[in-house]
Amino acid sequence: MTTTLARPAATDLEIRHAKQPRSGVLLTGAAWIIAVLFVLPVLWMILTSFHTEQDAAANPPKLAAPLSLEGYRSFFDSGPWPPLANSLTASVVSTLLVLLLALPAAYALSIKPVKKWSDVMFFFLSTKFLPVVAGLLPVYLFAQKVNLLDNIWLLIILYTSMNLPIAVWMLRSFLSEVPTEMLEAAQVDGAGLVRTLREIVAPVVAPGIAAAALICFIFSWNELLFARVLTGTRAETAPVFLTGFVTSQGLFLAKVCAASLVVSLPVLAAGFAAQDKLVQGLSMGAVR
Amino acid sequence: MATSLDEPAAPARVDPAARPRRVRRSRAARPWLLLAGPLLVIAGLLLYPIVRVTVLSFQRYGLKEVISGKPEFIGLDNYREALSGDYLWKTVLPNTVVFAAVAVAGTVVLGTLVALLLQHLGPRLRALVIGSALVAWALPAVTGTYVWVWIFDPDSGIVRRTLIALGMLDPEGFNWFTDRLSFYAIAVLNVIHHGYPFIAITIFAGLSTVPEELHEAAKLDGANAWRRFWSITVPLMRPVFAVVTILSTIWDFKVFAQIYLMPGGDGSNPDVFNLGVWSYVSSINQNKYGLGSAIAVLLTLVLLVITMIYVRALFREDELQ
């Protein structure tokens, strides 16, 4: 971006910025359409969940029908708290375990990389080929043998190992942003490992840790296949509970929309609230 | 881990050669210690299933064998069962491959368009679109699939009601979920809708690495937006597009919940199975664990081959640079 070289470009840039208000209407329109298309299923769920069953099934759909909490009431009466708590436990604990394992590994792969670090990265990535369906039976048979079926800890272990590769991959991207000169300077000054980590590494990596944690949380919360096969009544997670609820109540749209919304709410909130971190994390994990 | 803390802070410069050799060797081993945890967890929890599922695929393994614990080795019989006949070749494989091809193309094209749009937006609108994209991405596949199923419900779905009201559909209606083509059309809609927000964000992040000057220079030379996209953005962004395509391909080949949760996908309509669902139904619904494992191994192999081709292409590119 040297000013002397890019002078014509700079003026052109100014022109483009000046023009923006006119073409802006079109862009604004397109942006709103895309945004609404993205969240359309969620909007539809919100709307339907607050209607009475009669209004939800009305033809044509009544957008302005009076609001009702009927759907939510009957969903919360059906005992969703244990599954929701199970999902929360599995997601939070597995996320913490992932971070605990992934951070040292990412450190070893970036700041002081081991010689074959790219091979190690490939090993981590290669685990993504394995379809969950292929792991399902072995895990099921193993869990049956060691009596871990319908146990939330089995899911915690599985989610940890499923999310570990992507977390290592992402955290490595963030850690390699830490300027090596600063690390060397700290070493020269005699700062210990703990101090170096706290004062130089942590500020750069904190957003990365937040992003990795969020992504692991979202993946664990949404997982269906393992949870469905490996849990019963005790360790059932929210998505499994939801599939059961929808199968039995499928005709009652307001009720099932309320249920779907409640089950999705934690991840939707996480996604919306932390968008900057997620964008950074997602692109770091995938691009580099 | 805090060994270096005990070192006196005094000497400003330490001659590396003066360090005892023992310290150096432990230095070289320490990173591997940090890596040991994840490597062990992943080796245990991901390599074990690969080995086990491969062994299972060579065995007759049903309910009887689960109880007795003594499976019989039957060689390639499970593979023979899966590969022979028309079912794999005319139904399951096209369902898997054509679906993935269409979904990947749709996801990447739409994602690119949204990414290009994002580039031209002001900060506030950009935040709006990205926020909505993340909501769509975080929405559980279970919930997303249900919404699409309800929208296309053959009795009371919005689409049916609208089409009848417009006179484009007979009042008897049409069950989109029993016909393979319309079933997969809905599945494609669902998967693209769920997948392209992430792709858009990734490509948008990649676009910011393309130097603005190149575009400006090309513009001065009279190149239009289309030309500039193909001769500047695409070549420079090739690695990003490659990663995005690989990831989408892996996901769309492995798609499970989005098919399984649609009417008929849970086992009642074999016309709509893909490899993943077929494997699941064979093992979990029908207790043919050996056959299910063989199908799962086939799916893994297909994925492996595709990814190898992609990675080859990608890394040849990198070495040239």
Q: Where are the domains of chain A?
A: 18-70, 79-286
Q: How close is the nearest chain A Cα to the Cα of B93, in Å?
A: 16
Checking if the pLDDT of B233 tops 60, the result is yes
State the best of B34, B153, B163, B237 to mutate against chain A, taking most chain A CBs within 10 Å: B34
What CA–CA distance (Å, rounded) separates B99 from A274?
32
The CATH fold of domain A79-286: MetI-like fold (1.10.3720)
Residue A107 to residue B34, Cβ atoms within 8 A: yes
pLDDT-derived band at B240, boundaries 50, 70, 90 = confident
Q: Looking at A41-55, A58-72, B139-153, B198-212, which range is the least confident one?
A: A58-72
More confident residue, B173 or B193: B193
Beta-ladder partners of A18: none
- Give the chain A residue nearest B113 (alpha carbons): A34
Q: How close is the nearest chain A Cα to the Cα of B79, in Å?
A: 15
Note the pLDDT of residue B14.
45
Residue A239 to residue B240, Cβ atoms within 8 A: no
What CA–CA distance (Å, rounded) separates B6 from A198?
17
CA angle B265, B271, B277 (to 5 degrees): 40
Helices (H), chain B: 3-6, 21-42, 48-57, 63-68, 77-83, 86, 93-119, 123-138, 141-151, 158-165, 180-207, 212-220, 225-228, 234-236, 238-254, 257-260, 275-280, 289-320
Residue B7 to residue A8, Cβ atoms within 8 A: no
Note the pLDDT of residue A7.
38
Note the pLDDT of residue A284.
64
Note the pLDDT of residue B24.
52
Q: Quick one: what percent of chain B has pLDDT higher than 90?
A: 12
What CA–CA distance (Å, rounded) separates B209 from B236?
9
pLDDT in tens, A140-159: 888 888 888 888 999 999 99
pLDDT in tens, A209-256: 888 888 888 889 989 889 988 988 888 888 898 888 888 776 678 888
Mean pLDDT over the full length of chain A: 79
Orientation angle between helical segments A117-126 and B21-42, nearest 10 degrees:
10
ipTM greater than 0.85: no
Reported residue count of chain B is 321
What CA–CA distance (Å, rounded) separates B246 from B317?
15
- Give the chain A residue nearest B197 (alpha carbons): A38
A69 touching B, CB under 8 A? no
Beta-ladder partners of B95: none
Q: How close is the nearest chain B Cα to the Cα of A109, in Å?
A: 8
Residue B38 to residue A279, Cβ atoms within 8 A: no
What CA–CA distance (Å, rounded) separates A94 from A212?
12
CA angle A81, A85, A91 (to 5 degrees): 145
Find chain B residues with C-beta within 8 A of A149's C-beta: none
- Give the chain B residue nearest A285 (alpha carbons): B202
Note the pLDDT of residue A235.
87
pLDDT in tens, B77-135: 888 888 888 888 888 898 899 999 999 999 999 999 998 888 888 888 888 888 888 88
The torsion angles phi and psi of B178, rounded to 5 degrees, stand at -85, -30
Checking if the pLDDT of B12 tops 50, the result is no
Helices (H), chain A: 7-49, 53-56, 70-76, 81-110, 117-126, 132-145, 152-175, 180-188, 193-196, 202-222, 225-230, 238-249, 253-273, 275-287
Phi-psi map region of B175: left, alpha, beta (phi>0 left; psi -120 to 50 alpha) = beta
Q: How close is the nearest chain B Cα to the Cα of A85, in Å?
A: 17
Note the pLDDT of residue B27.
60
CA angle B254, A282, B209 (to 5 degrees): 120
Which residue in B3, B50, B216 is closest to A130 by CB distance? B50
Residue A138 to residue B53, Cβ atoms within 8 A: yes
What CA–CA distance (Å, rounded) separates A281 from A213?
10
Q: How close is the nearest chain A Cα to the Cα of B162, in Å?
A: 8
What CA–CA distance (Å, rounded) separates A176 from B315?
20
* C-beta separation of B120 from A25 below 8 A: no
Helix (H) or strand (E) holding B60: strand B59-60
Note the pLDDT of residue A153.
92
A176 touching B, CB under 8 A? no
Cα dihedral sign for B179, B185, B188, B193? negative
What CA–CA distance (Å, rounded) separates B36 from A102?
10
pLDDT in tens, B278-320: 999 988 888 888 888 999 999 988 888 887 887 777 665 554 4
What CA–CA distance (Å, rounded) separates B117 from B94?
34
Q: Which of residues 105-144 of A touch B (CB under 8 A)?
A: 105, 107-109, 112-114, 120, 123-124, 127-139, 141-142, 144
Q: How close is the nearest chain B Cα to the Cα of A152, in Å?
A: 16
Note the pLDDT of residue B1.
38
Look up the CATH superfamily of B41-316: MetI-like (1.10.3720.10)
Checking if the pLDDT of B42 tops 60, the result is yes
Residue A137 to residue B114, Cβ atoms within 8 A: no
Minimal CA–CA distance to A228: which of A243, A248, A218? Answer: A243
Residue A287 to residue B32, Cβ atoms within 8 A: no
Find chain B residues with C-beta within 8 A of A138's C-beta: 48-49, 52-53, 56
In this prediction, residues A61-76 reach a mean pLDDT of: 76
Q: How close is the nearest chain B Cα to the Cα of A275, in Å?
A: 6
Checking if the pLDDT of B55 tops 60, the result is yes
For residue B246, give Cα distances in angstroms to A161, B132, B306. 21, 24, 8
Mean pLDDT over the full length of chain B: 80
Cis peptide before A60 (omega within 30 of 0): yes
Q: Quick one: what percent of chain A has pLDDT higher than 90?
A: 10
pLDDT-derived band at A160, boundaries 50, 70, 90 = very high
Strand B59-60 relative to strand B72-73: parallel, antiparallel, unpaired? Answer: antiparallel
Note the pLDDT of residue B192.
92
- Cα B105 from chain centroid? 13
More confident residue, B139 or B103: B103
Note the pLDDT of residue A89.
93
Find chain A residues with C-beta within 8 A of B143's C-beta: 41, 45, 242, 260-261, 263-264
Which residue in A42, A133, A260 is closest to B299 by CB distance? A133
Note the pLDDT of residue B106.
93
pLDDT-derived band at A84, boundaries 50, 70, 90 = very high
Note the pLDDT of residue B18.
47
Note the pLDDT of residue A61.
62
Give me A119's structure tokens.
């091979």
Give CB contacts under 8 A, 24+ apart, made by A57-63: A57/A253, A57/B156, A59/B156, A59/B161, A60/B161, A60/B165, A61/B158, A61/B161
Residue B129 to residue A192, Cβ atoms within 8 A: no
Q: What is the reported pTM?
A: 0.81
Checking if the pLDDT of B232 tops 80, the result is yes
What CA–CA distance (Å, rounded) separates A227 from B3?
43
